[in-house]
């Protein structure tokens, strides 16, 4: 018993005089690892058309079934994507998401990506349903 106590005090004594590794969060940020997957974003083409063609492959690849895509046909009067269809509704339930990145891998047009934004906390559950308007990257 006494030897374990002395060992524990020895570990504590060694760590007591080492430099702290605390990061002062809002002012300082650690660099994210290159393969870090965080917040989902829907990308646009250079001409501001949406990349998503409403194929629902991301929803099919998702193991937690947190993605919902409702596709609709493009018309000549209302063109949202370069393909025949576009995603009329695109929702991700971030509470269910496991950030695996399979949606990004399954997308044939690279419309959805997981970016380095990691400030995802909120106070009510309804705000964790990310709609298409929230996911679309700025023009």
Report if pTM > 0.85: no
> What is the domain-level CATH number for residue 103?
3.30.70.3270
The label of the residue with tokens 């940020």 reads: 29
Q: Burial-class residue 112 by CB neighbours within 10 Å (0-12, 13-18, 19+).
A: buried
Q: What is the pLDDT of residues 32-49, one digit of tens each?
A: 787 777 889 999 999 889
- Tell me if 14 is assigned to some domain: no
In a domain, 130, yes or no: yes
Q: What is the pLDDT of residue 139?
A: 53
Whether 82 maps to a domain, the answer reads yes
Strand ranges of the sheet holding 129-130, from the earlier edge strand across to the other edge: 67-73, 85-93, 129-130
Q: Please indicate, yes or no, if residue 31 is contained in any of the structural domains.
A: no
Domains identified in the chain, total number: 1
pLDDT at 18: 85
Say whether pLDDT at 117 is over 80.
no
pLDDT, one tens digit per residue, over 73-110 is 998 888 999 889 999 999 999 999 999 999 999 999 99
Q: What's the pLDDT at 56? A: 94
């Amino acid at each position: 018993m006494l030897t374990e106590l002395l060992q524990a005090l020895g570990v504590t004594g060694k760590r007591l005089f080492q430099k702290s590794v605390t990061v002062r969060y809002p002012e300082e940020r650690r660099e994210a690892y290159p393969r870090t997957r965080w917040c989902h974003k829907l990308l646009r083409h250079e001409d501001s058309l949406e990349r998503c063609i409403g194929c629902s492959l991301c929803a099919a690849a998702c193991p937690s079934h947190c993605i919902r895509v409702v596709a609709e046909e493009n018309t000549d009067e209302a063109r949202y994507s370069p393909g025949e269809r576009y995603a009329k509704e695109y929702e991700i339930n971030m509470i269910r998401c496991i950030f695996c990145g399979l949606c990004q891998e399954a997308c044939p047009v690279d419309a959805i990506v997981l970016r380095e934004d990691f400030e995802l906390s909120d106070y009510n559950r309804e705000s964790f349903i990310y709609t298409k308007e929230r996911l679309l990257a700025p023009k």
